[in-house]
Structure 1
Amino acid sequence: MKDKIRRILDLVRGGKLSLDDASPLLVALSPRLALSPSDHEFIASLLGRPELDSAQVAEHLMLLRGVREGTTTPPRPPQAPPFSGSLGDPFGARFGENMESLMGRVTRQVEQAVTERLGAAGRERAPEDRPRLLVISVESAGGDEYSANLPLNLAPHLDKLIPPHGREALASAGLSIEALQLLIEAGPPPGQLISAEDSGGNSVQISIK
């Protein structure tokens, strides 16, 4: 009994099941393991303590609910004799499954569902992981111009990637390399970042694509 409870709590601690999802599995082991809201909070706090392993938390839960190691689920009511015709007995094995087999199937199904969900989430995030471009276009009143499409992940090295005339054009428009790096580090979404032009004719256009 304790080992089966421990396996369920391992899934909860590993983030593969919530306590709400685990409740019917615990009740299947023993009706006394039905958790109240206060029990949920207590078990969650125990699982959050790194010095306690899942087996120790299982012992606390069994003591809390008055479940002994030898407690088993009530026997099933008598079933009708299995059909023994030419089609055989396709359901007999299912009714004869023990709790160990049931827990094994539930564990595998949960792990498979979590793996598929994480894989789908990874595929959904893939476009965001693609390199993006920092597009800079600067024109100063003195006639200095600078345009560039730079990989966004190279932002920490902008001082080396932007040539002197580009830095001068940015400075003439009132924008330093350091200020630009701080802006990028803030993690803005794709689109226009800066679009400004002063009365002196200095203009700056910066966007992320």
Structure 2
Amino acid sequence: MTPDQRRIQPRKQPRQVRAELTRHRILTAAAHVFTDHGYAAGTTNRIAERAGISIGSLYQYFPNKDSILAELLTRHLDNGSATAAKALAGALPGPIEDILRLFVRSAIESHLDDPQLLRLLMEQAPRSAELLEKVEQLKRSWCSYVRNVLDGHPEVRLTDTETAARLIFTTIELVVHQLAAEHEPVDKRKLETEMVAMLTRYVKG
């Protein structure tokens, strides 16, 4: 483990329900503190106070606020994966437009809960090698899934479905991330409608 990895590695993994609840309180408090005060002013003292615990208790779980922010980013990725898995658990709809709508909607729903926190995660959260690998693994899984959908759908008029799958995944992720993190509110319905129209035209040639 490199020094940078040790710097953001959580100190204590909960083994009991009480410890997990404490850890959850720290992360919830940190999300509020970072949103209210920004990252620079979001000190561990403020996080501990918001969580209702001592600063010593906080340091039993996390060595610094970088490690807390890294854990918030990890949970954001895990929640996004869970949302997508839930959305795709059933049978896919028939028309390719409806399938693309399902992809876009699941991405939007997992990114628009807290735009300020999302912006902070995008701009300042430290990336460990483990976290970067998690992102790459998620990307590979999604691109493989999208390619299989494109390969088997009669409406699709693409020859290079491997590149197309990567393009669709990246477009959805980057656009939703960017618009969700902007200061101006995003109309979720309009965003979904326009993205689906754009991607549908692309895959149907």
Q: What TM-score results when the alignment is normalised by the length of structure 2? A: 0.26
Larger Rg: 1
